[in-house]
Amino acid sequence: MKFDLENMRALMSSGIPHMAEVGLELISMDDTGVVGRIPHRDEFIGDPESGVVHGGIVTVLLDSLSGMSVVPVLGGMAMTATLDLRIDYLRPAAPGEDLFAKVRCYKTTRNIAFTRGIAYQGDMDDPIAHATGSFMLTRTGNAGTQP
């Protein structure tokens, strides 16, 4: 399937159960990065006293967008499997606010894609988390043979 924002939105909302379940929305997606949002829900709270969301939901957002950031870079013609994902938590999330993230695939080799990105709420210059990932590629078309 050729990469297309509407196709990706449809795939996420109907084809990928966990992305649909958490309400992950794709805001934009091209080879300079992918931006998405998970609207706040009280079920995501990890600290009942402060109301701060659990790191797990931040991981779900960053893992999802990291894998998706590879798609437009390779023209949609590769499957990805996560090798590793590192997340640094830079500050506590503000309670009750939606989570946003922007991730970019900054390098691909024949077999591996490398990504980095941030999670934030409102202010991209004051992120709540930073992520770096690497992904094993299984190419499904002739992606990567072009210049």
Partner 1 sequence: MTLADGIRAAQASGDLQPLIEAVPYFRWLKLRVERHGEELVTILPFQDMLIGNPMLPALHGGITGALLESAAMISLIGAMEKPKLPRIINITVDYLRPGRPLDCLATGLVTKQGRRVANVRALAWQGDREKLIATASAHFMMI
Give SS3 for 142: coil
Report the C-alpha dihedral over residues 55, 61, 67, 69, rounded to 10 degrees: -130
Distance separating alpha carbons of residues 66 and 64, to the nearest angstrom: 6
Sequence letter at residue 69: S
Q: Using alpha carbons, list the distances in angstroms from residue 55 to 16, 42, 52, 62.
A: 21, 14, 9, 10
Q: Supply the minimum distance, in Å, between the C-beta of residue 28 and partner 1.
A: 20
Q: Is 59 in the site for partner 1 (CB under 8 A)?
A: yes
Q: Supply the minimum distance, in Å, between the C-beta of residue 47 and partner 1.
A: 6
Give 97 or 147: the residue with its C-beta nearer to partner 1.
97
Give SS3 for 72: helix
Q: Is 45 in the site for partner 1 (CB under 8 A)?
A: yes
- Interaction pattern, residues 60-89, with partner 1; x per rule: CB under 8 A: xxxxx--x-------------xxxxxxxxx
Give 49 or 125: the residue with its C-beta nearer to partner 1.
49
Report the interface residues with partner 1, using CB under 8 A. Answer: 15-21, 42-49, 53-57, 59-64, 67, 81-89, 92
